Structure 1
Amino acid sequence: MQEPRQELDASNGSNNGGRPRFVPVTALEDVQAVRCAEFHPHGKLYAVGSNSKTLRICSYPKLHDVREDHQTYQPTVLFKRTKHHKGSIYCLAWTPDGQLMATGSNDKTVKLMRFNADTSNLEGQEVELTMHDGTVRDLCFLEDTSNKSSLLISGGAGDCKIYVTDCATGTPFQALSGHSGHVLTLYNWGGAMFVSGSQDKTVRFWDLRTRGCVNMVTPATVPGSRVGSPVAALCVDPSGRLLVSGHEDSSCVLFDIRGGRTVQCFKPHAADIRSIRFSPSAYYLLTGGYDNKLVLTDLQGDLTMPLPSVVVAQHQDKVISGRWHPTEFSFLSTSADKTATLWALPPV
């Protein structure tokens, strides 16, 4: 099921003409809010972390028989670990080759584990990293091209530092200072580059080759002013040209990285935006918010003009994250309604 390159028709409300209608294929139920879910890079499984401290790995189902009247079912859980952290699991990430996985928690620790995709099991001794002095809010992996090792980037509350850990040795070797508020979101692209978004309303660009912050912007969320809002979610398109930030005041800002300017600010939600991701081919943007909705915004036209946005999925409570499948046009969402739901489009 490849990504359809069709324009969203946001005008017709009731008859669903031309509007993608995603159906909930599977729903994993937990006893507490589910904060994070991430697809394994090869797409055949995904990991889910919850406030109940439980880590699960589920198999990704075959989707060719999904119909409009599909009955949602529980996914197959391949691996389950209770009390994975001493606190809620806030974030998780895989290395690009899918052999390492990291989780972060409000117990202030990061856990780094080896993963065997053939057995769907975590293997060997896990490394526990204790350099953070507050909740670990987000994680991402970078490949250190000089020696082909993986680097783990982690950020959060406490001293607001971003730590860089060498995964081969399990040692943090760099603490990046700059943010004056909690780091809420991290996103990497293009090898050595990553961005961080913070409660201090700024987005910082980091380049590990120069060992520091190479740029800082405060996306303006109030038209005609320089006023910003805490940056709760970030992503960069695969070409490295367009940064999109999601804010606590429900704004979404498109920023031209090379031109160093804001393209536009729009409001696809009625409350905080907590998650933002480009679809695999970057035709669409998926945002998740505290208004319980997941919204798809069409990026195929002129980005300076009003963008068509459509609500494609809804939870019973706040949406905390939304993640695309690496190759198929389906996505996972996690919510305060205690579920992690997989959504897909029935064949037309």
Structure 2
Amino acid sequence: MESKKLCARISELECSLKKANDDKQSLYDEWIALSALLKTKTNELLQLQEDRLVLINKIRDLNEQHANLFNTEVDLQQERQQRKIREEIARACEDTSKDEKIHTSLLQTNFPTGDSVFGDVIPQEVVFRAEANDGEVYDILWLSTDIFASGGSDKRVRLWKIDQRVRPTKTNTLVGCNHAVTRLDFNLESRLLLGASNDHGVRLWNVDNQRLMTSFMGHMDKVSSARFLSCSQVVSGSHDRVIKLWDIRGQRCVRSVFPGSTILDIVGIRKGVATFTSGHFDRKLRFWDSRNQEPIHTMDMAGKITSLDLSSDDIHLLCSTRDDTLSIIDVRKYQTVHIYSAEQYRTSSDVSRCVLSPGMEYCAAGSSDGHVFVWNVQSTKLEKVLHKGGHEHAILSLSWNPSGHGLLSADKQKIVCFWK
């Protein structure tokens, strides 16, 4: 009886051992198969990485070819302009009587001179009204006291110079964008002009020779805004809900952050560490350090944030929102200092741009009825409403002259006005 039990136990153990050996063999076979698969996938990954590098180099080469083509076009434009200038000089030399007329014109000019009053001045009337771009003029920007740039739905950035008669003359056209130009920024030190575009790209031009320097492609939707963080770094925000930091020298994206909401405007801090602020569709104002993936602070505003403008001392931020108000925010304390509004003021669109005067004495914004509203920054008093002889359509962008004298405004129907 005892021996039968032992035999049964031995048989049971032998069955268990056989099952264990079978399981071991199955696991070993599976391990061999997975090892082979891992090796195959590793080789595929290495090949894909090599292909990626090849494609990146091809993209860079194509971007360079693209830039060279546009630069060739710029060279041809410059050659035509130089030829035209030489012809005009030759004609002028034939008629010396023009000298007296020019002298009289210069004496009668009202253009600001070195004897002008220093500080910010409230504009009083329209000095000129001109067509700048074909269609909406999404952004306008002073590059110096007498040169400004305009960008719009015609895919062009146009450079203008104000002459002694206070009249704009188009000097150059910068090309390269395949869709509307939405935002402009200028770095005085590097002489580079930055343009964000609805073609999902950001472009850099040299304003001295009008050459397209590089194109930053990587966003998956319209780029609503792009600004300089420094001479070597650019930050851009898009409708794809991604903020990208770009290295100008390396011509590549060095970081992407994901705030989770459409970016409507973005502005960089010009001094100190590389920090920037973004305004969003979800009514939030986010403050960032470029070294981090998460915002260092978030503020809730009363409406979608359409525009941001930073004071020259990097302390105060002007913020325009869709609830028809503007706010001044102390970026050191993350606190709202003043709020500006007016009974007739209506924010014109999700891309309506506001502006601070250079000395931060005044702030201004354009309304949907074509009027320009100017407030006193400290008292919040509405100082002036500019409209007579100006715009007939909603205003999209403003730019205050660096001298503090004069304000540019641009609207949805080609028109740019200079108020002084």
TM-score normalised according to structure 2 size: 0.65
Distance 2:133 2:214 in 1: 26
Counterpart mapping for 1:256-275 below 5 A = 256-268=330-342, 270-272=345-347, 274-275=352-353
Contact 1:275/1:289 (<8 A) preserved:
no
1:163 Cα deviation after fit = 0.9
1:4 Cα deviation after fit = 5.0
1:133 Cα deviation after fit = 0.9
Distance 2:315 2:417 in 1: 31
Identify the match of residue 418 of structure 2 among 326, 336, 342: 342
Q: After superposition, give the CA deviation of every residue in 1:235-269 in whole Å (9 maximum; x if it has no partner).
A: 23233333221111212123333333323433235
Tell me the percent identity. 21
Distance 1:253 1:183 in 2: 18
Match of residue 223 from structure 1: none
Given the alignment of the two structures, is residue 176 of structure 1 paired with residue 257 of structure 2, yes or no?
Answer: yes
Amino acid at match of 1:55: V
Distance 1:91 1:271 in 2: 21
Match of residue 12 from structure 1: none
1:335 Cα deviation after fit = 0.6
1:32 Cα deviation after fit = 1.0
Given the alignment of the two structures, is residue 76 of structure 1 paired with residue 152 of structure 2, yes or no?
Answer: no
Distance 2:299 2:145 in 1: 34
Residues 338 and 81 (structure 1 numbering): CA distance in 2 closer, same or farther, change over 3 Å? same
Identify the match of residue 206 of structure 2 among 114, 120, 131: 114
Amino acid at match of 2:133: D
Residues 258 and 103 (structure 1 numbering): CA distance in 2 closer, same or farther, change over 3 Å? closer
Q: Which has the higher contact order (CA 8 A, sep 6+)?
A: 1
1:100 Cα deviation after fit = 1.3
User: Where in structure 2 are there 5+ consecutive unaligned residues?
Assistant: 1-115
Identify the match of residue 235 of structure 2 among 148, 153, 157: 153
Q: Compare CA radii of gyration and give the structure with the larger one.
A: 2
Given the alignment of the two structures, is residue 238 of structure 1 paired with residue 238 of structure 2, yes or no?
Answer: no
Distance 2:214 2:335 in 1: 41
1:209 Cα deviation after fit = 5.3
1:297 Cα deviation after fit = 0.5
Counterpart mapping for 1:130-149 below 5 A = 130-143=217-230, 149=231
Q: After superposition, give the CA deviation of every residue in 1:257-297 in whole Å (9 maximum; x if it has no partner).
A: 33333234332353225122110111111112323221111
Distance 1:26 1:205 in 2: 38
User: Where in structure 1 are there 5+ consecutive unaligned residues?
Assistant: 9-19, 67-72, 144-148, 220-227
Counterpart mapping for 1:19-58 below 5 A = 20-40=123-143, 42-58=144-160
Amino acid at match of 2:169: T
Given the alignment of the two structures, is residue 252 of structure 1 paired with residue 326 of structure 2, yes or no?
Answer: yes
Contact 2:306/2:353 (<8 A) preserved:
yes
1:201 Cα deviation after fit = 0.4
TM-score normalised according to structure 1 size: 0.78
Match of residue 86 from structure 2: none
Give the structure with the higher percent helix: 2
Q: After superposition, give the CA deviation of every residue in 1:318-346 in whole Å (9 maximum; x if it has no partner).
A: 111001112241122111021122222xx
Q: After superposition, give the CA deviation of every residue in 1:109-163 in whole Å (9 maximum; x if it has no partner).
A: 11122231xxxx312x5322211111111111012xxxxx4211111212x1111
Give the structure with the higher percent strand: 1
Distance 1:239 1:103 in 2: 24
Contact 1:2/1:328 (<8 A) preserved:
no
Secondary structure at 1:322's aligned position in 2?
strand
Distance 1:288 1:30 in 2: 18
Distance 2:246 2:117 in 1: 36
Contact 1:276/1:285 (<8 A) preserved:
yes
Secondary structure at 1:213's aligned position in 2?
coil
Amino acid at match of 1:271: R
Contact 1:292/1:319 (<8 A) preserved:
yes
Residues 299 and 80 (structure 1 numbering): CA distance in 2 closer, same or farther, change over 3 Å? same
Secondary structure at 1:49's aligned position in 2?
strand
Computed over aligned residues only, the root mean square deviation of the Cα atoms, in angstroms, reads 2.4
Amino acid at match of 1:308: L
| Count of aligned positions | 297
Q: After superposition, give the CA deviation of every residue in 1:204-226 in whole Å (9 maximum; x if it has no partner).
A: 1122355652111012xxxxxxx
Contact 1:201/1:231 (<8 A) preserved:
yes
Q: After superposition, give the CA deviation of every residue in 1:49-82 in whole Å (9 maximum; x if it has no partner).
A: 12112221111334xx66xxxxxx5x21111246
1:25 Cα deviation after fit = 2.6
Amino acid at match of 1:171: R
Distance 1:259 1:154 in 2: 25
